[in-house]
Every structure is written in structure tokens, then in C-alpha cells.
Amino acid sequence: MPAKLILSGEHAVLYDAPALSMAINLTTESQLKFQPSTHQKIEIQLTDYGKHQAWSFSEAWDQAMEIEARFIAFEKGLQSIRKVCQQPFDLILLCLFHFEQHFKLQPGHWTINIQSNVWAGRGLGSSASVIVSLLSGLFKHHNIQNESALLALAQTVESRQHGQSSGLDPVSVMYGGLVRFQQHQALQNLPSHRFQAWLIDTGEPNSTTGECVSQVKAQHAQDKDLWQAFTECTNEIHKAWLAHDGAALKQAVRANQTLLEKIGVVPTKVAEFIQQLQQTPNCAAKVCGAGSISGDQAGVVMALCEQNPTDLCTQWGYTCQKIQIDQQGARCQTD
């Protein structure tokens, strides 16, 4: 399961604007093993966190319902989205719980092992990668061939992590390549071509995606001109991509960054870094993801440039690597 990188439309996609999102080859893998048993048990191993825990079905559903209760409290404005999912296991239990509600989990002993090299908390869709990876395995095991149901479940679960899911992240990691996504409209797949770009890690943001989404909503939800500007910017990136017009693509990426700064999700330090980076000839850069409303880190930055920006990144304390598009999207293998 790949990660995703939003070229344009983060935040704006929640206000009926289009978004362009690319699957990239940072992967998440869910290994599911099932044994028939009279003891209904769920065992979860999170390799990256070094955590292992087991529940009976009833214990797992009780814990999931507690998470659901916290989400309802968030929806009522009684607590922060940060309080809903409190530990790494919560997202996994929610996937299983919502699958159980719709399709019924086959009773027996389930062992689930999840590992990922996606940079967590950086705006790369790590949550969506885990959710879609696990749900894909569950759907395959239960012989359910219904992609729309899978994506709907993924969007439901992702909302518990981020507060309001547009469905963009699950779609991106599910289908791979570069897609144009707009709520209530058909998904468009864009052709792939040479893409010279770099992924720069500015560090994990102080604020969560959900907190950023909530603040942007409070301050800008009714600003139709702003979301129209995002739409026009996305259309320019789309047009430049199809035309293989590198100069126009970079100009539109710079415009997108300016809009993200306008809605207040780019910390000053990251804005200054991008400004310096764009002094490099033929270079354009932008924050990709929710950004941050506090602190100095903003997650990942995408840089379109011919020259390797590693030296400048090192000066700022950032790491970077070349971006490679993942064309395959979700895939399942059976032993």
C-alpha cells in the first residue's frame, strides 16, 4: 500500500474544490492470519511501535465503542479531535469494529501485523495507508468485492483520526498513480510521465490534521473566493501536467504555496525555507498535507527542481529523498 502526496487541494477539497493527489512508493503492509477457533480473539502486532496486544472480540468492540463515544463528543464540540484516537491500536480496532458492523468478522483467532515506512504524522496519508491496507485484507479474506464499500468504510474510520475525511487519501492509496478527486464527481486518472521532484521532511507538526482542518474551517469556510482560487490553481497544475509544461507547473505550485500561507497552515520557518529554496533556478516548492497552525514544523514539502536540494535541507535540519510515483496502488497477496 503506497503513501500519498497532494499536489493541490489539501483543505480546499473539503469545500467542493478539486484536488490532485499522487501515490508514492513509501509502503504500508498488513499481514492477516486467521485460524478457526472457538475462542474469538484478535491479536495485533505493530512492528514500527514495538507494540503487541490481544483482545477477545467483545473486549475489542467495547474499546472501539469507547473511541466512538469520544468521536461523538468531538462532533459536539466537547473535546479536541486529538482525544479521539489515543493510542496506535485504536485505528486498527476501529477498522475491525466498522467491518464487523457491516459485514461481520469471521469468528476465530485473528493475528494482524502492520509495518510501514511511511513517515507518520507528516501529511503523507499514513493513517489512510494503514486503514486501506487492513480493510483490503479483510475484504479479500471474506471474499467481498465491493470497492465503493471499502472506500466508504475507510473514509468513516479516517474521520475518527482527522475529524473530517474528504475521502481523498483512501482513494489515492487505493488506486495509485496521479488522480483528480472532487467530492460527488467521478475520479479521474491522469497519465504518468517524468516527474523530477523531492520529498522534504520538515518534522512532525505540533498540530494534528484535525486541528488544522478545524481552524481553517472556523476562519475560512465561508470564503468562496478563496476556495475558487484554490480550484483555479489546481486546474492550472492539472493543465500543466497534461501538457508536460514544467514552467507552468512550477508557477502554479508557487501559487498554491501562497494560498496555503494565506489560510495560516505554513509555519514561518517553513515559509522562509521554501522562499530560500525557490531562489534556486527553476525550483518551486509547497507544503503537502494539512500543514500546521503552531510550532515550526509542517510535515512534508514537495520541491520541483532539477538540482538535488540535500545541502540546503541539511543546513535547515531537514532530510529529503527523491519522489517516485507508485502506479499500482493497493495489492493483496495470499500465501
SS3 letters across the chain = CCEEEEEECCCHHHHCCCEEEEEECCCEEEEEEEECCCCCEEEEEEHHHCEEEEEEHHHHHHHHHHHHHHHHHHHCCCCCHHHCCCCCHHHHHHHHHHHHHHHCCCCCEEEEEEEECCCCCCCCCHHHHHHHHHHHHHHHHCCCCCHHHHHHHHHHHHHHHHCCCCCHHHHHHHHCCEEEECCCCCCEEECCCCCCEEEEECCCCCCCHHHHHHHHHHHHCCCHHHHHHHHHHHHHHHHHHHHCCHHHHHHHHHHHHHHHHHCCCCCHHHHHHHHHHCCCCCCEEEEECCCCCCCCCCCEEEEECCCCCHHHHHHHCCEEEECCECCCCCCCCCC
Q: Which residue has the higher pLDDT, 331 or 158?
A: 158
Average pLDDT of the segment spanning 280-300:
92
pLDDT at position 82 over 90: no
Average pLDDT of the segment spanning 92-111:
96
Q: Alpha-carbon distance 135 to 115, whole Å?
A: 15
pLDDT at position 122 over 90: no
- What value, to the nearest 5°, has the Cα angle with vertex 166 and ends 170 and 236? 95
Q: How confident is the model at residue 309 (pLDDT cuts 50, 70, 90)?
A: very high
Average pLDDT of the segment spanning 84-100:
95
pLDDT at position 243 over 90: yes
pLDDT at position 125 over 70: yes
Q: How confident is the model at residue 119 (pLDDT cuts 50, 70, 90)?
A: confident
Any idea which of 7-11, 132-136, 326-330 has the lowest mean pLDDT? 326-330
Please give the share of the chain, as a percent, with pLDDT higher than 70.
Answer: 100
Q: How confident is the model at residue 335 (pLDDT cuts 50, 70, 90)?
A: low
pLDDT tens per residue across span 178-207 = 999 998 888 899 998 877 899 999 999 999
Q: Alpha-carbon distance 180 to 187, whole Å?
A: 6
**CB atoms < 10 A from the CB of 191, how many?**
9
Entry pTM? 0.86
pLDDT at position 295 over 90: yes
pLDDT at position 232 over 90: yes
**CB atoms < 10 A from the CB of 200, how many?**
27
pLDDT at residue 270, rounded to an integer: 97
pLDDT at residue 165, rounded to an integer: 79
Average pLDDT of the segment spanning 130-137:
95
Q: Average model confidence (pLDDT) for the chain?
A: 92
Average pLDDT of the segment spanning 235-264:
95
Q: Alpha-carbon distance 180 to 185, whole Å?
A: 10
Q: Alpha-carbon distance 256 to 73, whole Å?
A: 34
